């Protein structure tokens, strides 16, 4: 595992532990601070609310900062929040410390995942992002239990001091790493003021709704896992911790497998994981008498939930299109927190009205099933499906069809593989031909059989400077029919606005010629 990815995973481990460890030290805090358990429970609600509300605002406010500066700076804020909680003389200061830590929670995870995806090979973007979020799964397996034990042995302040020290160590490790800067997209690539960046597109909100419902379904049961296991199933209270550890262990395995699956099957991963979680919740709604079956179902539920996280990250980044992936991932994290709060609230409402604990699992299955149905929708049509499918391969896999400033616009054309020819048939796909025996052409298909021509010419123009359809490329002889670009071609801001983060060779193939027009002969085979 690369050192930067390990450092970011260590940071997410600290963040995940800080979010959840409070549940294990509630009685200790209530005794020392002198407030009721219900009041101390507000430390959890306030943290989640701060994550949801402050996350997008912090991400938007810090969009112009370098990642090398942003990540350590936000981690230092997180460290200070935990230190303030450890030093809090009363409940109000403790609440303030929790809110300070929560303010940077969502932005940190979003930047970490986006950075890991940018560092990864094109075919492993989801897997590398999953390595970062693995820290959250490990926090539920090791961080929360150990933090609770520290609180019981040395007091709840020792838990926050331990978190502050571990977070500071992870921050120091992070400063020793080299991380890539964000690839400019959309308005950022053209130099438009980030404060005027348009809102995220509708598909992002649909994915966020899927995340909210799916998370609510799982956490409706997980919030009341202890009474469910002891009262509804009849398991010994001493075995509850073991079953919860099995849930976390399943999450660790599921996160790793889900990252690989999201790279290979970006469309199917989300419905499969949500369907598996729904099936597990339905079976738990009919609690069997065998404790081993319940243990297996809890492990399956944890694996399904955490396996869906990398796929949802990939889908929401693809749905964002030319918008900021960091902002999309911030919305993603906020949706998870809303789902946790919604599931806990719904389960508590059912229990307060006299419904049994199995009904909580049934309600969770209903929410998860609704998320599964929504996950089958592809709101962006064919273009969105191409983008989502290409998410693992990187941003170069699709070309945005947006109008450009200055009267230029891309108009994708497809032609046969013979260089120097031109076919003005928009959006038509023609198989390239390759020489066969006896001089006869042989149609070929697949990645290397089609050549895309996104021509870049003034609106209304149908040809190049000579009107023949042949165009020069910077670094080649003007008028040459070769579609191979020069690697030294200069990329202008117009091409960057057109093609976003497309490969350098595709930029070069659209570099301006000496006559001022733009070529018509780029090829996706040149990537």
pLDDT digits (tens, 9 = 90+) for 26-64: 888 888 888 887 778 788 878 888 888 888 899 888 888
pLDDT digits (tens, 9 = 90+) for 197-252: 445 667 888 888 999 999 999 988 887 887 888 888 888 877 777 887 888 888 88
Mean pLDDT for the chain overall: 72
- Strands 408-410 and 433-435 come out as unpaired
In this prediction, residue 262 carries a pLDDT of 83
- Which residues are within 8 A (CB) of 290 and not within 5 positions of it... i.e. 6 or more apart? none
Out of 123-132, 211-220, 370-379, 415-424, pick the least confident: 415-424
Between the ranges 29-33, 495-499, 509-513, where is the mean pLDDT highest?
A: 29-33
> What number of CA atoms fall less than 13 Å from residue 455's CA on the CB side?
24
Q: Using pLDDT thresholds of 50, 70 and 90, give the confidence band for residue 20.
A: confident
Task: Give the residues across from 456 on adjacent strands.
Answer: 410
Domains annotated on the chain, with CATH: 1-183 (1.20.1250.20), 200-398 (1.20.1250.20), 400-527 (no CATH)
Average pLDDT over residues 87-109: 92
For a pLDDT cut of 90, what percent of the chain falls above it? 20
The yes-or-no verdict on residue 510 having pLDDT over 70 is no
The yes-or-no verdict on residue 444 having pLDDT over 50 is no
Q: Using pLDDT thresholds of 50, 70 and 90, give the confidence band for residue 269.
A: confident
Distances (CA, A) of 279 to 304, 369, 512: 10, 9, 56
Average pLDDT over residues 357-376: 91
More confident: 380 or 224? 224
In this prediction, residue 76 carries a pLDDT of 96
Q: Using pLDDT thresholds of 50, 70 and 90, give the confidence band for residue 184.
A: low
For a pLDDT cut of 70, what percent of the chain falls above it? 67
For the whole model, what pTM was predicted? Answer: 0.62
Neighbours of 368 (CB within 10 A): 31
Quickly tell me which residue has 């699709």 as its tokens: 398
The yes-or-no verdict on residue 261 having pLDDT over 60 is yes
Average pLDDT over residues 325-351: 84
In this prediction, residue 132 carries a pLDDT of 87
Which residue, among 71, 87, 99, has the nearest Cα to 167 in the 3D structure? Answer: 71
Interatomic CA distance for residues 81 and 84, integer angstroms: 5
**Reduced to 3 states, what is the DSSP secondary structure of residue 369?**
helix
> What number of CA atoms fall less than 13 Å from residue 330's CA on the CB side?
28
Interatomic CA distance for residues 340 and 356, integer angstroms: 20
What is the gyration radius of the CA atoms in the chain, in angstroms?
26
């Amino acid at each position: 595992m690369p050192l930067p990815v390990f450092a970011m995973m260590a940071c997410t481990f600290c963040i995940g532990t800080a979010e959840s460890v409070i549940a294990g030290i509630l009685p200790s805090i209530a005794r020392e601070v002198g407030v009721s358990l219900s009041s101390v429970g507000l430390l959890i609600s306030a943290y989640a609310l701060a994550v949801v509300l402050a996350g997008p605002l912090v991400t938007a406010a810090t969009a112009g900062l370098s990642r090398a500066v942003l990540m350590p700076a936000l981690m230092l804020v997180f460290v200070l929040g935990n230190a303030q909680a450890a030093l809090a003389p009363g409940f109000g200061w403790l609440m303030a410390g929790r809110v300070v830590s929560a303010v940077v929670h969502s932005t940190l995870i979003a930047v970490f995942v986006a950075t890991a995806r940018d560092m990864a090979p094109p075919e492993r973007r989801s897997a590398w992002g999953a390595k970062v979020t693995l820290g959250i799964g490990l926090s539920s397996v090791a961080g929360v239990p150990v933090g609770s034990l520290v609180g019981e042995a040395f007091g709840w302040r020792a838990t926050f001091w331990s978190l502050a020290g571990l977070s500071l160590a992870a921050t120091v490790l992070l400063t020793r790493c080299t991380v890539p800067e964000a690839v400019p997209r959309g308005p950022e690539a053209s130099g438009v003021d980030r404060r005027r960046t348009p809102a995220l597109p509708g598909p992002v909100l649909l994915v966020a709704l899927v995340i909210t419902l799916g998370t609510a379904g799982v956490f409706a049961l997980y919030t009341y896992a202890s009474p469910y296991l002891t009262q509804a199933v009849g398991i010994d209270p001493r075995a509850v911790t073991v079953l919860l550890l099995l849930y976390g262990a399943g999450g660790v395995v599921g996160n790793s497998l889900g990252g690989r699956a999201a790279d290979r099957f970006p469309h199917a991963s989300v419905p499969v994981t949500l369907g598996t979680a729904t099936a597990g919740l339905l079976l738990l709604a009919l609690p069997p008498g065998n404790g081993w079956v319940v243990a297996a179902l809890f492990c399956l539920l944890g694996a399904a939930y955490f396996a869906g996280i990398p796929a949802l990250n990939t889908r929401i980044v693809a749905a964002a299109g030319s918008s900021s992936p960091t902002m999309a991932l911030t919305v993603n994290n906020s949706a998870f927190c809303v789902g946790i709060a919604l599931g806990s609230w719904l389960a508590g409402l059912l229990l307060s009205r006299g419904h049994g604990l199995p009904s909580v699992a049934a309600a969770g299955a209903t929410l998860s099933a609704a998320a599964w149905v929504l996950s089958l929708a592809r709101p962006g049509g064919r273009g969105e499906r191409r983008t989502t499918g290409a998410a693992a391969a990187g941003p170069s896999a699709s070309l945005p069809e947006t109008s450009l400033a200055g009267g230029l616009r891309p108009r994708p054309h497809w032609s046969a593989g013979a260089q120097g020819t031109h076919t003005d048939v928009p959006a038509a796909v023609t198989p390239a031909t390759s020489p066969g025996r006896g001089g006869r052409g042989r149609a070929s298909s697949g990645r290397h059989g089609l050549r895309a021509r996104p021509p870049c010419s003034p609106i209304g123009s149908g040809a190049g400077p000579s009107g023949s359809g042949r165009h020069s490329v910077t670094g080649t002889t003007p008028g040459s029919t070769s579609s191979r670009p020069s690697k030294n071609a200069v990329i202008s801001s117009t091409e960057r606005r057109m093609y976003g983060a497309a490969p350098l060779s595709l930029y070069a193939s659209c570099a301006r010629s000496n006559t001022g027009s733009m070529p018509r002969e780029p090829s996706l085979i040149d990537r």
